[in-house]
Chains A and B, each alone.
Chain A
């Protein structure tokens, strides 16, 4: 099973600043990574797939990068609605696995 490790666990950022979230895979997974946003009481929202392709309707301030084992989600110009928990997920093989999440909170 591929282990996905996210860092940091909690990221304190001021509105308008940039947030950089990291995700590391325990083995090579090419670009088979997706990122999701989760807010309390709301359905998960797909942000990025293929490591860097924005999902439909996702604002351009969300961007993804990386390949192999190291991946990054960047949120440029954080807005109030962006404070949430973010998960990375690999789909290189089965079982699909998620990182433990990074909580982006208001500084």
Chain B
């Protein structure tokens, strides 16, 4: 059974940093593109970033370019999202997703709140 479990969310002040992690199991992690997608509570979805199987290629939405870094550890079946210079508009539930085009499995998400 595929499982994606996010962690690391919480309350952070504007300008602060947070690191999200996603523990993957039930599939060959090293063979899968992986993504982070976020959703403002009660609103729509925004694709934040995705990463190639070996980590050699990454893509970011313009609004997080230069502030967020997606990375992976295939030995640990883990996906991370380092978020720096956080802004109130980054407040959202962040989902880990398997795939880079049309993810076929999603985690339950972790809530990030940026507020003073």
A residues with a Cβ closer than 8 A to B are 32, 34, 41-46, 49, 55-56, 87, 89, 91, 94-101
Q: How large is the interface on B (under 10, 10 to 19, 20 to 34, 35 or more residues)?
A: 20 to 34
Per the 8 Å Cβ criterion, residues 64-116 of B in contact with A are 95, 97, 101-109
Residues of A within 8 A of B106 (CB): 43-45
Chain A residue nearest to B108 in the complex (CB): A43
With both chains docked as a complex, state the minimum distance between the C-beta of B63 and any C-beta of chain A, in angstroms: 9
Q: Roughly how many angstroms separate A7 CA and B107 CA in the complex, as a whole number?
A: 27
Report chain B residues within 8 Å CB of A56. 104
Q: Are A89 and B102 also in contact (CB < 8 A) when A43-B107, A44-B95, A100-B44 are? A: yes
User: What are 9 A-B interface contacts by the 8 Å CB criterion?
Assistant: A32-B101, A41-B108, A42-B108, A43-B105, A46-B104, A49-B102, A95-B59, A97-B47, A101-B44
Residue of B nearest to A55 (CB): B104
Q: B11 an interface residue at 8 Å Cβ cutoff?
A: no
List residues of chain B with CB within 8 A of the CB of A46. Answer: 102-105
On chain A, the residues within 8 Å of B50 by CB distance are 96
Q: Is B62 an interface residue (CB 8 A)?
A: yes
Quote the shortest CB–CB distance from A62 to chain B (angstroms).
14
Which residues does B use to contact A, with CB under 8 Å? 4, 44-47, 50, 59, 61-62, 95, 97, 101-109
Q: Is B104's CB under 8 angstroms from A96's CB? A: no
Q: A34-B102, A43-B106, A43-B107 are known contacts. Are A95 and B45 too (CB-CB below 8 A)?
A: no
A49: chain B residues at CB < 8 Å are: 101-102
* With known contacts A43-B107, A43-B108, A44-B95, A91–B44 Cβ distance under 8 A: no
| B47, A96: Cβ atoms closer than 8 Å | yes
Contact B101 A91 (CB under 8 A): yes
Residues of A within 8 A of B109 (CB): 43
Chain A residues with CB under 8 A of B61: 95
